Structure 1
């Protein structure tokens, strides 16, 4: 065989392999897909993942197996996916905690959130609700800010621990409002509710679905939500941006990643599968019951840009307030 023929043969073989790989990606999945949720079973991320993946499996005719790998704020399961093959059969279903917050709180992470994953799909957002104890003489965000300024050092806020989204929301709110409140960390927001009701703590940023039942019962008062738009779960509550804090926006986002190096054709296929599922009426209804808003279909690039902006924002808050998990 001459050199020219050998080169032509090599080119043909490479072309065939490329076409074969593209075809395999287009036919994904041909076997069950493992979806790693780096948080405990029955938690918010797990419940949302199961709602969405059930519909994806139904549409694709292939099983998606949710595998809970909790620990270290979601970083253990995330690190496991970072080391997996980028073939579409190991998927990460995670939140802002592992990719926009933890990298700035845990300098010794075993993964690089920006380099070790391929962003695929923005699935949903969960806003928080600003709650106050009913004994506090305020009925709006503006009144809370005015009261805090008129009574410096007298207010405190509960969180679910150092470095949590509850802590970061509280710090960002205090900074933008120009007020000073004392941090009272708990081992979970549920443990702080009795103290909020009794007035031992004054302010709490809770998740919307867990906070609203206490509002409906009259035990605590809600002043606003942290999302850009009002939530369907509490449409009468204004956003913080509407309430005198322009531009304030904070949600816990939920999204899908593949390991770094996933081929573009595969990324497009997985993106299509998840975004299509999220837009179905039954999935939207199920997410609404969980207090979660489905994300717009967008693109993987748009998702990546959103995460980058969110990460930069929380990095600034963490630096400004010297927040640490130590």
Structure 2
């Protein structure tokens, strides 16, 4: 028969062993291939960034890191798959402010809960939108855009990356702020928007300038203002919207990694630290962040969580004012 003393000693040993077991689990992680899920099509800036990150993580971890694209549904397909994955550290979701902060207030029902189903790991970068106008329109400034739109209500066609996408919501918010009306034409992504604007079929869009730079250089697309608080290094002569006399308006996306909820804290911290170290290295930053016209924004779990809370409150209020809901 086990005495009370023996039982107490056994319990104490088990309690002391628990942190040791967690430390060993952290040290062993990862001991099999890790998957990073991206909810966007293959070939874009975020996809290329993720693949470069996977190469550096493979070197650091001496383990295979797989990039798996699950595009569609404004990021919902990839987010739902990731949220339902085992919380063991082997499925990482590469999400953005749209899938985490905006979609819960855009859709009447959503198949995942961004707050309850995900654990923020690390924010890696952000991209500020530039207002782009087709050269076929006589518009060269913010003021000329507003004047033309008010004189021709509904005649400016603006492109987005799909119904309910961030570019859709942000352009509607800009229209509301400035009192103009434009006609929405959804596309699949920046490549399609770029081609339509160059052909003169589309008049206006918000997007990352670096993605359409060749047509800007050819004079087919005209950047008129940056929808952020600072000018972009890609187009240093293009003013911010406030410098151009516009309202307090920001259109930018951040991109970061998430684990399914209940993933062990030791694994969350390890991945956050390793990804932050890679992201902040000069060579990686220059080639895969600044090189894509994006801005470094490295935030570990606590600071990342604060950013998420702030942006969630913004989209809650913005979408209530727009009265925009999707099934």
TM-score (norm 1): 0.89
Residue 81 of structure 1 aligns with which residue?
Answer: 82
Write the distance in 2 (CA, Å) between the matches of 1:259 and 1:108. Answer: 20
Residue 297 of structure 2 aligns with which residue?
Answer: 295
Q: Which runs of 5+ in 2 are unaligned?
A: none
Write the distance in 2 (CA, Å) between the matches of 1:103 and 1:44. Answer: 25
Distance 1:306 1:247, change over 3 A: farther
Residue 123 of structure 2 aligns with which residue?
Answer: 122
1:275 equivalent in alignment to 2:276: yes
Write the distance in 2 (CA, Å) between the matches of 1:29 and 1:280. Answer: 22
Write the distance in 2 (CA, Å) between the matches of 1:270 and 1:83. Answer: 20
1:212 equivalent in alignment to 2:213: yes
Which stretch shifts more, 308-317 or 85-94?
Answer: 308-317
Contact 2:30 2:63 in 1 (8 A): yes
1:235 equivalent in alignment to 2:233: no
Write the distance in 1 (CA, Å) between the matches of 2:233 and 2:66. Answer: 30
Question: How many Å apart are 1:157 and its aligned residue?
Answer: 2.2
1:169 equivalent in alignment to 2:170: yes
Residue 72 of structure 1 aligns with which residue?
Answer: 73
Write the distance in 1 (CA, Å) between the matches of 2:189 and 2:261. Answer: 33
* Residue aligned with 2:29, SS: coil
Residue 103 of structure 1 aligns with which residue?
Answer: 104
Contact 2:79 2:93 in 1 (8 A): yes
Write the distance in 2 (CA, Å) between the matches of 1:322 and 1:7. Answer: 61
Q: Which runs of 5+ in 1 are unaligned?
A: none
Residue 287 of structure 2 aligns with which residue?
Answer: 286
Distance 1:160 1:259, change over 3 A: closer
Write the distance in 2 (CA, Å) between the matches of 1:243 and 1:26. Answer: 53
Distance 1:136 1:3, change over 3 A: same
TM-score (norm 2): 0.89
Contact 1:158 1:189 in 2 (8 A): no
Write the distance in 2 (CA, Å) between the matches of 1:83 and 1:191. Answer: 32
Residue 265 of structure 2 aligns with which residue?
Answer: 264
Which stretch shifts more, 263-272 or 235-244?
Answer: 235-244
What are the equivalent positions in structure 2 for 1:23-172 lying under 5 Å apart?
Answer: 23-172=24-173
Contact 2:126 2:295 in 1 (8 A): yes
* Residue aligned with 1:110, SS: coil
Write the distance in 2 (CA, Å) between the matches of 1:204 and 1:165. Answer: 12
Question: How many Å apart are 1:41 and its aligned residue?
Answer: 2.3
Contact 2:54 2:65 in 1 (8 A): yes
What are the equivalent positions in structure 2 for 1:196-207 lying under 5 Å apart?
Answer: 196-197=197-198, 199-207=200-208
RMSD, aligned α-carbons? 2.4
Write the distance in 2 (CA, Å) between the matches of 1:192 and 1:93. Answer: 23
Contact 1:215 1:222 in 2 (8 A): yes
Question: How many Å apart are 1:112 and its aligned residue?
Answer: 0.8
Distance 1:187 1:267, change over 3 A: closer
Question: How many Å apart are 1:189 and its aligned residue?
Answer: 4.5
Distance 1:189 1:32, change over 3 A: closer
Aligned residue pairs: how many?
325
Contact 2:97 2:253 in 1 (8 A): yes
Distance 1:148 1:276, change over 3 A: same
Contact 1:149 1:179 in 2 (8 A): yes
Write the distance in 1 (CA, Å) between the matches of 2:193 and 2:248. Answer: 28
Residue 2 of structure 1 aligns with which residue?
Answer: 3
Which stretch shifts more, 109-118 or 235-244?
Answer: 235-244
